[in-house]
């Protein structure tokens, strides 16, 4: 009898939740995160996009394209072919900036294949590009859903900086920014800088200093998420248009990593999407991060203050004297540790059979 009472109470609670969901639709959907995916597709961008499109926790409201791994034209073409492959012509895909704010673009076909997508020729897209300028589309969507949009930029930060410069009122209306870029342990372009930040340091500095909640999923944490032969085998064991495309991309990247003596390919951009799905995948302490825009050897470095303190040096006569220590406010959560196996499993499970 007691057991019966327990079961009845259990079902009553479930019924109540279903009833509440039916009436207060918004509260049940609160768990679904609306994102704008800003990308320079790109092999790991492709994996990140397909992870986002196949994750029920995320609602991709728009894809904006930025030059980086490939030119603006090639990036837009790649994005359109991918949304078409995923049968998602309902998502607006808009081109944006054509070059970084103050410097020439550096493209990375060397790492991503001639077309940026591991030399895989996807069928022509059934989807059409949205005519709006990417940063304008970001502004429009943020105003349409205040406090609900998470930006997930996984390329140079040009489009995001242009949106903020054009309409700073979006800053307090953004829920969160979760970006792939930067590093607090050295770069991949050179000793100091990570590629996305190196490709537009001024834009990155604007984005880091904007004053919104920001999580940096950088190179050093991404390097701990290596997709290798094991996951490749898992992707090979199932089929579907997206599954087979991502298998091809992953195979290209794993083989490339093996040429360089690495045990797998780092899942940089997919990890940023992973954090949007489940923030507990990474440990991310708060720090103050600045982007170096002038250094001779360090332009594009993300300089993180781990102590959130600076000495106060005051000029007294012909020298400075340390007179105390001032606090600096953190402006970013910086990913330092990741539950890599859990993330890789999540990735594979979302792609298999799609
Ligand atoms: C970042 O640079 C690009 O090559 C990748 O797509 C990723 O966003 C890694 O440094
Ligand atoms: Ca990228």
Q: What is the mean pLDDT of residues 297-324?
A: 98
Residue 138 · residue 62 · CB < 8 Å: yes
Helix (H, G, I), strand (E, B) or coil at 132: coil
- Cα distances from 322 to residues 20, 176, 186, in angstroms, run 60, 37, 29
Average of per-residue pLDDT values in the chain: 94
Q: Give domain limits for the chain.
A: 31-351
Q: Is the CB of 197 under 6 A from ligand 1?
A: no
pLDDT, residue 253, reads 98
Q: CB of 256 closer than 6 A to ligand 1?
A: no
31 falls in which pLDDT band (50, 70, 90)? confident
- pLDDT given for residue 29 in this prediction: 47
What per-residue confidence (pLDDT) applies to 9?
Answer: 46
Exposure of 244 by Cβ count < 10 A (0-12 exposed, 13-18 middle, 19+ buried)? middle
Burial 255-265 (b: 16+ CB within 10 A, else e): ebbeeeeeebb
Q: Which letter does DSSP use for residue 224 in this model?
A: T
Distance 71 CA to ligand 1 centre (A): 14
Mutate to test the pocket of ligand 1, among 51, 193, 217, 268 (most ligand atoms within 8 A of CB): 268
- What is the percentage of the chain residues whose pLDDT exceeds 70? 92
| Ligand 1, atom 4, residue with closest C-alpha | 69
Model confidence pLDDT, tens digit, residues 136-171: 999 999 999 999 999 999 999 999 999 999 999 999
Kindly report the CATH number that applies to the domain delimited by 31-351: 3.90.245.10
Does ligand 1 come within 6 angstroms of the Cβ of 173? no
On the question of pLDDT at 19 being above 90, the answer is: no
- For 102, the token pair is 């103050």
Mean pLDDT of 238-253: 98
Shortest-distance ligand to the CA of residue 39: 2
Q: Verify whether ligand 1 is closer than 6 Å to residue 74 (CB atom).
A: no
How many other CB atoms sit within 10 Å of the CB of residue 75? 26
Distance in Å, CA 325 to ligand 1 centroid: 36
Q: Is the CB of 42 under 6 A from ligand 1?
A: yes
């Amino acid at each position: 009898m007691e057991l019966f009472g327990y079961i009845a109470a259990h079902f009553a609670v479930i019924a109540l939740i279903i009833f509440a969901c039916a009436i207060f639709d918004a509260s049940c959907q609160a768990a679904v995160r609306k994102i704008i995916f800003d990308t320079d597709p790109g092999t790991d961008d492709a994996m990140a996009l397909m992870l986002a499109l196949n994750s029920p926790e995320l609602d991709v409201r728009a894809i904006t394209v930025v030059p980086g791994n490939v030119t603006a034209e090639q990036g837009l073409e790649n994005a359109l072919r991918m949304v078409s492959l995923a049968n998602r012509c309902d998502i607006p895909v808009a081109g944006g900036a054509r070059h970084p704010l103050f410097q020439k673009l550096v493209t990375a076909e060397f790492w991503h294949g001639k077309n940026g997508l591991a030399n895989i020729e996807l069928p022509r897209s059934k989807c059409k590009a949205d005519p709006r300028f990417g940063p304008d589309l970001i502004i429009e969507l943020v105003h349409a859903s205040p406090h609900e949009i998470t930006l997930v930029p996984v390329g140079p930060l040009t489009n995001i900086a242009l949106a903020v410069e054009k309409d700073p009122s979006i800053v307090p209306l953004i829920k969160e920014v979760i970006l792939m870029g930067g590093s607090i342990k050295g770069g991949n372009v050179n000793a100091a800088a990570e590629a996305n930040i190196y490709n537009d340091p001024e834009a990155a500095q604007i984005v880091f200093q904007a004053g919104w909640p920001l999580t940096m999923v950088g190179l050093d944490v991404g390097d701990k998420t290596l997709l290798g032969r094991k996951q490749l085998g898992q992707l090979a064991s199932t089929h579907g248009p997206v599954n087979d495309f991502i298998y091809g991309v992953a195979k290209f990247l794993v083989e490339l990593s093996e040429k360089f003596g690495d045990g797998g390919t780092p899942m940089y951009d997919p990890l940023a999407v992973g954090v949007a799905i489940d923030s507990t995948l990474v440990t991310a302490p708060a720090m103050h991060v600045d982007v170096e825009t002038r250094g001779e050897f360090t332009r594009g470095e993300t300089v993180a203050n781990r102590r959130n303190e600076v000495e106060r040096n005051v000029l007294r006569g012909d020298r400075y004297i340390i007179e105390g220590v001032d606090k600096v406010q953190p402006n970013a959560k910086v990913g330092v540790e990741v539950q890599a196996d859990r993330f890789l499993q999540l990735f594979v499970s979302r792609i298999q059979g799609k």
